[in-house]
Amino acid sequence: MTTYTPRMNELNGQGETAVRETDILQTAETLRWQIGQNFHEQLMEDIYTEAARIADRAVTRAGEKPRFDMDRTIDHIVTSRVWGFPLMVLLFTVVFWLTISGANVPSGWLSYIFLDTLHPLLKEGATAIGMPWWLSGLLIDGMYLATAWVVSVMLPPMAIFFPLFTLLEDFGYLPRVAFNLDNIFRKSGAHGKQALSMMMGFGCNAAGVVATRVIDSPRERLIAIITNNFALCNGRWPTQILIASLFIGGLVPAYLAGFVSAMAVVGIAVLGVFLSFAVSWGLSRSILKGEVSTFSLELPPYRPPRIWQTIYTSVIDRTMIVLWRAITFALPAGAVIWLSANVMIGGVSIAEHLINLLNPLGLLIGLNGVILVAYIVAIPANEIVIPTVLMLTVLVTGATGVGAGAGVMFEMDGSAVRHLLDAGGWTLLTAVNLMLFSLIHNPCSTTIYTIYKETGSKKWTLIATMLPVVMGFIVTFLVAQVWRLLAG
């Protein structure tokens, strides 16, 4: 008998064959435990060593190219065990510092044009043509101002951050970041390529969720999708930057303020990365158990970034698209905010009813009712959290001289904002917890919808949505308790 096909096996009696086949698997299982855990790595390493040996014998170089060496030198530093991480943090701190300190000036110009100049003109025009107060309030004080605020706050940081980020990408640095993070992700039971989708998440979580398509194992992809929200997205950077520069930067002398604020923002971003690891670890040991798959990551050669092209495309592709999205959400949100502040039930506006309802919970977790209402209003887009907070604080504190009326979003210089928030009962704890909650809360509705489209599962969408909110409440609650304990 020379052949032994399954058909032949059947002739021999199925029972006997079945036993022998499971025998093989049983033996394999037992042996796997004996040979130890790093068998797979050893296997890969053997192949790599052998490939290197054979390639080395076959290839001769006519003279080392200096750029080849240069790449290696750079890689040795940026992916080194000692310098890899500090360099990464330093590089991103510089990027944020440039963003924070560079965005102030153009932000001032834009708010001067849109808020100080155009807004009064529009109001005058509305009065001139005899527009009823509620219509001009809804259109100009609600929709127009919300949009103008979003543009003047978001456009400058995005126009600086995105090109810088794209330059790093173009240079070839991002694959090195993925390389640095790969080991930790694997130890967390996640896929190393999650580092790439996380990088995308720093721009926009919806884009990050789509980017998890590079991960082919469904288990690891789900982990990447659920934890993508911990990558601080573009809509949340302005919140972090504003609060950090008002409250954290205010703790130190002025010449240090920019740097310290940038460090605070980087700290939150790093905490987000850490949470990604922690949650990946938890998921891969509970509801998403399984083995980690290996992959090869190509480190492309470093290239001098094409500066003008990069600036052009990142401004057009990224900045404008994100800005447009913010505007389309700011328009209706502005209307909703204005209406809720001006429609009265029993002499008190809807917004105030809501704030009073949520205030006890908010204070318990070191925030306040205003912030929680703002987060409900901002479910469609995180970008409008700060404008909503400011508007509602005016409403609650009854502050005068800072706006044209209830439900009006306005621009003030930093100290006026700080003054207003102080009047709203804000402390350093409120600021810190707002930064934390901004990192750890539900994804925006666009991202939720994207998660549903990518997973096709209501269950996983629900988990991806609820897990961060619950975590956010727990974290802010704990921080508030410890803080109050220490502060006496």
Partner 1 sequence: MTTHSAADCATCPAHHAGNLLKLGVDMSDSDYVVALAGNPNVGKSTVFNALTGLRQHTGNWPGKTVARAEGGFSYADKRYKIVDLPGTYSLLSTSKDEEIARDFILFGRPDVTIIVVDATRLERNLNLVLQVMEITDRAVIALNLIDEAKRHGLQVDERRLARDLGVPVVPMAARQGEGIPELLQAVHEVANGLAVCKPHRVKSESTAVQRALQQLVQQLTAVYPTLPNARWVALRLLDGDQRIAEAVRSGEIGALSAPENDQNADLLIPLEVAA
Give residues in contact with partner 1 (CB under 8 A): 1-6, 9, 17, 20-25, 27-28, 31-32, 34-36, 39-40, 42-44, 46-52, 54-63, 65, 213-217, 291, 293-296, 298
Question: Please, which residue, 56 or 124, has the CB nearer to partner 1?
Answer: 56
Distance CA 479, CA 470 (A): 14
Shortest distance, CB of residue 10 to partner 1, whole angstroms?
9
Distance CA 47, CA 135 (A): 72
Angle at 469 between CA 353 and CA 152, to 5 degrees: 70
Question: Please, which residue, 17 or 101, has the CB nearer to partner 1?
Answer: 17
Shortest distance, CB of residue 79 to partner 1, whole angstroms?
16
Question: Please, which residue, 214 or 479, has the CB nearer to partner 1?
Answer: 214
Question: Please, which residue, 57 or 458, has the CB nearer to partner 1?
Answer: 57
Question: Please, which residue, 45 or 116, has the CB nearer to partner 1?
Answer: 45
Distance CA 173, CA 168 (A): 6
Question: Please, which residue, 213 or 484, has the CB nearer to partner 1?
Answer: 213
Contact 202, 236 (CB under 8 A): no
Shortest distance, CB of residue 293 to partner 1, whole angstroms?
4
Shortest distance, CB of residue 27 to partner 1, whole angstroms?
6
Shortest distance, CB of residue 51 to partner 1, whole angstroms?
4
Long-range contacts of 399-403 (CB under 8 A, 24+ apart): 399/423
Shortest distance, CB of residue 482 to partner 1, whole angstroms?
43
Question: Please, which residue, 62 or 487, has the CB nearer to partner 1?
Answer: 62
Shortest distance, CB of residue 212 to partner 1, whole angstroms?
11
Q: Which two tokens stand for residue 332?
A: 């209706």
Distance CA 253, CA 236 (A): 26
Distance CA 385, CA 373 (A): 9
Residues forming beta bridges with residue 349, ordered by sequence position: 344
Is the CA virtual torsion 364, 368, 373, 375 positive or negative? Answer: negative
Contact 199, 174 (CB under 8 A): yes
Q: Distance between the two ends of the chain, CA-based, in angstroms?
A: 87
Shortest distance, CB of residue 295 to partner 1, whole angstroms?
5
Question: Please, which residue, 42 or 80, has the CB nearer to partner 1?
Answer: 42
Burial class (CB in 10 A: 0-12, 13-18, 19+), 6: exposed
Question: Please, which residue, 36 or 488, has the CB nearer to partner 1?
Answer: 36
Q: Per DSSP, which regions of 332-425 are E strands?
A: 344-345, 348-349
CA dihedral 418, 358, 342, 120 (to 10 degrees): 20
Shortest distance, CB of residue 206 to partner 1, whole angstroms?
19
